[in-house]
Each structure stands twice: as C-alpha cells, then as structure tokens.
Amino acid sequence: MPNYTLYYFNGRGRAEILRMLMAVGGVQYTDKRFEFNEWDKYRNDMPSMCVPVLDIDGQNKMPETMAIARYLAREHGLYGKNNMDMFRIDYICDCFYEIMHDYMRYFHTKNGRFFENGKESEMNPATVIPYMQGRFMDTCRRVLPFLEKTLETKNGGNQFFMGDQMSLCDMMCYCCLENPMMENQSMFTSHPKLMALWKRVAAHPKITGYLKKRANTNW
C-alpha cells in the first residue's frame, strides 16, 4: 500500500470525506493538520495552493477533494459496479458537494478568514454574509428534495442510495450535512429519508469506530 499523507486544516471541512474513506478502506495514513495561522507555511507547497491534498509516497501531491475521493472510492469498492452506477454515484456526490462548497464559502466568510485576494475587505460584511448564507440555503432548497426523491427510488429509501451497500455518495451525505445540521436542524426535517440515511451511515460498522476516535473539532 502506498504511503499516504493527507494535508488539511485542523477541521473536518472538505477533508472529512477523505478521512472517512481511509477509515472504511482500512488505509494507514498520516493525517497532517494545521491551524489557519500556519497556512502561509504550507500554501506554496500545495499544488494549486489549496487543500485538501493527498501526498503519495512523498513524491506526488494530488489536489482536489473529489478527485481524491473518487480515487479512494475506486480503490476500495465504494463506487458501484458499472458505468451507470458510477454516473449515479457521481451526480449524487456532486449535488452534496454543491452544498458543501457553498456552505464552506459561507462558513469561511462568516468567520472572516481564508480569502486569497483580500477583496472581501471592500465588501460590507453585513451584506456579504447574508448573501453567502442565502446562496448556501438556496442550494439546499434546490438540491435536497431531489436527493430525497433519488434515495427513495431504491428500496423505498430505507437502505443506501445504491441499494443494500454503502457507497461514496452515502458517505458524502454524512460529511456534507454534518455542519449544516448542527447549525440548523430544521432545514432538514422535511427530508426524513436523508436524515435516516445520515444516521445509518454513522451507525455503519466501518464508520462508527472512526467517529468515536476522530479528532473533535467544531467544523
């Protein structure tokens, strides 16, 4: 097995899906975390000045959350059996990723950090924060009903998105909704199948142990 190092901030954020995939795949890796105030030390060593990044054998630093996620999912049988399965898993994942992407941009705006260009300083926080929040909530309103309906098409929505086996997209459900649900559970109550799936993933034998021992951070 290659020697993996995962680089990310000391938070769940965009990296948590990768840590969870490593846990389910039984992969050993170095979980390299740093604080926001250490970012300047790391930025220029990251391929596109972004994290998460997966380093393989100390030779190849690979960027892009979902590219890493799909690589790990293929490696560990969490990506379906044929092209149509992969298509379905992909669009479900990408819908969840839209939520995560808009949530992370809102979250970082709200916390006044992690901007590349400083342009935000020209923006009035009283305007831009509700704007980013509005964008995130619209994405939820647009995407969650579709995901609820999609889940229902297999086994009444009482197992996983692809049937009786957990796959990458179920894990995305867990990771992308975790922080949003902590902030505002009411947004999700009208999607009971997704809420139940969220708990089902958390209770999965390969996830539950990971969740118990993972680092405890507030995002």
Q: Which amino acid is at 8?
A: Y
Residue in 111, 131, 86 with CA at minimum distance from that of residue 9: 111
CB 162 within 8 A of CB 168: no
Nearer to a copy of itself, 77 or 209 (CB): 77
In this structure, what is the dihedral angle of CA atoms 98, 100, 101, 102, given to the nearest 10 degrees?
A: 80
Tokens of 30: 């170095």
Query: Considering the complex, what minimum distance in angstroms separates the CB of residue 66 from a copy of itself?
Result: 6
Query: Considering the complex, what minimum distance in angstroms separates the CB of residue 211 from a copy of itself?
Result: 27
Query: Considering the complex, what minimum distance in angstroms separates the CB of residue 13 from a copy of itself?
Result: 16
Query: Considering the complex, what minimum distance in angstroms separates the CB of residue 151 from a copy of itself?
Result: 13
Nearer to a copy of itself, 88 or 204 (CB): 88
Report the interface residues with a copy of itself, using CB under 8 A.
47-50, 62-64, 66-68, 70-71, 74-75, 83-84, 86-88, 90-91, 93-95, 116-117, 119-120, 122-124, 127-128, 130-131, 134-135, 137-138, 142-143, 146, 150
Query: Considering the complex, what minimum distance in angstroms separates the CB of residue 195 from a copy of itself?
Result: 19
At residue 56, φ and ψ (nearest 5 deg) are -110, 120
Nearer to a copy of itself, 119 or 199 (CB): 119
Nearer to a copy of itself, 36 or 146 (CB): 146
Q: What stretches of the chain show up as alpha helix (H) in DSSP?
A: 16-25, 39-43, 65-75, 83-110, 125-152, 168-183, 192-202, 205-213
Strand-pairing partners, residue 153, are: none
Nearer to a copy of itself, 68 or 173 (CB): 68
